[in-house]
Amino acid sequence: MDVRVTHSDLRGTARAPPSKSYTHRALLAAGYSDGATVESPLISADTRATARAVGAFGGAVAPADAEGAGADAGSDLTDADALAVEGFAGRPGVPDDVIDCANSGTTMRLVTAAAALADGATVLTGDESLRSRPQGPLLDALGDLGVRAESTRANGRAPLVVSGPLAGGEVAIPGDVSSQYVTALLMAGAVTDEGIAVDLTTPLKSAPYVDITLELLADFGVEATPLDEAGDALDGAAGAAGFSVPGGQTYAPSDGTYAVPGDFSSISYLLGAGAVAAEPGESLRIEGARPSAQGDAAIVEIVDRMGASVDWDREAGEIGVERADLTGVTVDVGDTPDLLPTIAALGAVADGDTRIENCEHVRYKETDRVSAMAEELSAMGAETTEEPDVLTIHGDESSLKGATVDGRADHRIVMALAVAALAAEGTTTIRGAEHVDVSFPGFFDAMADLGMDVEPDGAIE
């Protein structure tokens, strides 16, 4: 599906969707348990993939008020307020069929480690985009732990074959490719016999995503500890040289339930839209913004630094943002890679240069998001400079105009381009708009409710 977005003014209130990162982890953690209820989950294409994987291992996921959910219930999930998860008690069974992770990299990495616990072989695959993403470091780590973990094409990419069972042990892994490798090992390690000790061979990037994991594990009653170079415990993942998770633990959230917080990656598009397109004199309100371990909450401070008027009531979980003349800033996205598209879109509207640093790892997402934003914003009239680890948007040399741009089958690229389109002269056609379903189903409906002039491209059925 393509959509046309025309320069618009926004007003009103929108609610952020639940966190995709937390929902993935919560569904799998509930799968590791004897059973639990996940409240306020994000139901999206990606999280359905994780739900299907839980079913493939012998669990089941269904709306909490449903009766007799089957193991494949994940494929039939709708906008449930809560999901009842029948767990596999830390011992995943060997799946009857291949696990299709679709376009979800988080699902593939977390589920690859879970598959290592099964006493037999599991085959995992995904769509064309997912089959191009690196899994090699995680496969190598599992191999070092005594598990057969292979890429069928011997290139470190899916399809994967994983044969357990995993007993635990000590392993070294790079920290600068994907924090999801660490998350996968910690979540699986808690139910091994021996536990797992992880040594990082390179500094950890995207540390807040590991903090999300540590927070969620604690909520499920699971102990996992970040360690410094001396082996002493740290308060969080930032600066960690390694991690330790004892084995033989049981996943069991308090009162058998876990509530998913709002998603700050998704909030970034609403906040950015308000900063560039809120009706003059009006404050666009965003609900569902309660504090959590999410590093992407940094978008509030970034938009504030760029000059927008931002008011965050943390207790109420509500943000207000007013339109302003933005000024370029320098941002390090080493810990917040998912914010790059939003920051780039704002930089194209701002005065001066917006310099996004430490972003090479952002090239290994659903698409190379560094090049994608540079190229698509350039098509709209922005001036950019792309380096291996830096993206600079020259706002003073940019004048955004409507154009036809490609969302690259990437939900974050689509939504960031929609933010830029709000400030562009004329109408912008965004190709592949349906991909917002990965993390923010109903994004364009929510934006239309705020006043965005958006409609399906007439050339597309």
Tell me the C-alpha distance between 90 and 350, whole Å: 50
- Give residue 40's identity as a one-letter amino acid code: S
Handedness of CA 351, 357, 363, 365 (dihedral sign): negative
What pLDDT, on a 0 to 100 scale, did the predictor assign at position 70?
41
CA distances from 331 to 239, 344, 359 (A): 19, 10, 10
Inter-residue contact 243 to 227 (CB < 8 Å): yes
Inter-residue contact 433 to 412 (CB < 8 Å): no
Residues 231 and 357 placed together within one structural domain of the fold: no
Residues 253 and 373 placed together within one structural domain of the fold: no
Residues 81-102 have a mean pLDDT of 97
Residues 98 and 187 placed together within one structural domain of the fold: yes
What pLDDT, on a 0 to 100 scale, did the predictor assign at position 457?
84
Query: Per-residue pLDDT for 436 more than 70?
Result: yes
Would you say 309 is a known binding-site residue? no
**Residue 408 domain flag:** yes
Q: Prior bond to 41 cis, omega within 30?
A: no
Query: Per-residue pLDDT for 36 more than 80?
Result: yes
Residues 328 and 238 placed together within one structural domain of the fold: no
**Residue 461 domain flag:** no
Which pLDDT tens digit goes with each residue over 261-299? 999 999 999 999 999 999 999 999 999 999 999 999 999
Residues 416 and 313 placed together within one structural domain of the fold: yes
Which pLDDT tens digit goes with each residue over 297-332? 999 999 999 999 999 999 999 999 999 999 999 999
Domain boundary among 214, 237, 259: 259
What pLDDT, on a 0 to 100 scale, did the predictor assign at position 75?
46
Would you say 206 is a known binding-site residue? yes
Would you say 398 is a known binding-site residue? no
Smallest Cα–Cα separation from 30: which of 41, 45, 19? 41
User: CATH number, domain at 292?
Assistant: 3.65.10.10
Inter-residue contact 211 to 191 (CB < 8 Å): no
CA distances from 197 to 117, 190, 246 (A): 16, 11, 8
Question: Given pLDDT bands bounded at 50, 70 and 90, which one contains residue 79?
Answer: confident
Give a three-class secondary structure readout of 290-355. CCCCCHHHHHHHHHHHCCCEEEEECCCCEEEEECCCCECCEEECCCCHHHHHHHHHHHCCCECEEE
Which residues lie below 8 Å from residue 461, measured CB to CB, with a gap of 6+?
none
Question: Given pLDDT bands bounded at 50, 70 and 90, which one contains residue 80?
Answer: confident
**Residue 147 domain flag:** yes
Which pLDDT tens digit goes with each residue over 108-121? 999 999 999 999 99
Domain boundary among 227, 259, 291: 259
**Residue in the block written with tokens 């709209």:** 380
**Is 368 one of the annotated active-site residues of the chain?**
no
**Residue 76 domain flag:** yes
Say which of 338, 353, 406, 410 is annotated catalytic: 338
Query: Per-residue pLDDT for 123 more than 60?
Result: yes
Domain boundary among 204, 234, 259: 259
Which residues lie below 8 Å from residue 365, measured CB to CB, with a gap of 6+?
105, 133, 337, 338, 410, 412
What average pLDDT does the chain have? 95
Is residue 186 within a helix (H) or strand (E), and if so which, with residue range?
helix 179-189
**Residue 232 domain flag:** yes
Count of domains in the chain? 2
Residues 303 and 230 placed together within one structural domain of the fold: no
- Give residue 175's identity as a one-letter amino acid code: G
Would you say 180 is a known binding-site residue? yes
Torsion of CA 422, 423, 429, 433, to 10 degrees: -40
Residues 369 and 282 placed together within one structural domain of the fold: yes
Residues 65 and 157 placed together within one structural domain of the fold: yes
Would you say 365 is a known binding-site residue? yes
Provide the CA 358 distance to its chain's centre, in angstroms.
18
Q: Tell me which residue range forms the domain holding 187.
A: 20-259
Would you say 412 is a known binding-site residue? yes
Inter-residue contact 262 to 288 (CB < 8 Å): yes
What pLDDT, on a 0 to 100 scale, did the predictor assign at position 460?
37
Inter-residue contact 406 to 431 (CB < 8 Å): yes
Residues 202 and 299 placed together within one structural domain of the fold: no
Query: Per-residue pLDDT for 76 more than 90?
Result: no
Query: Per-residue pLDDT for 147 more than 60?
Result: yes
Smallest Cα–Cα separation from 83: which of 34, 23, 15, 17? 23
- Give residue 97's identity as a one-letter amino acid code: D
Smallest Cα–Cα separation from 278: which of 327, 316, 319? 319
Residues 273 and 290 placed together within one structural domain of the fold: yes
Query: Per-residue pLDDT for 209 more than 50?
Result: yes
Strands 427-431 and 3-6 come out as antiparallel
Max intra-chain CA distance, the chain: 62
Residues 88 and 214 placed together within one structural domain of the fold: yes
What pLDDT, on a 0 to 100 scale, did the predictor assign at position 65?
74
What pLDDT, on a 0 to 100 scale, did the predictor assign at position 17?
92
pTM here?
0.85
**Residue 105 domain flag:** yes
Strands 160-163 and 148-151 come out as antiparallel
**Residue 205 domain flag:** yes
Residues 422 and 439 placed together within one structural domain of the fold: yes
Would you say 52 is a known binding-site residue? no
Where b means 16+ CB within 10 Å and e means fewer, 231-261 reads: eeeeeebeebbbbbbbbebebbbeeeebebb
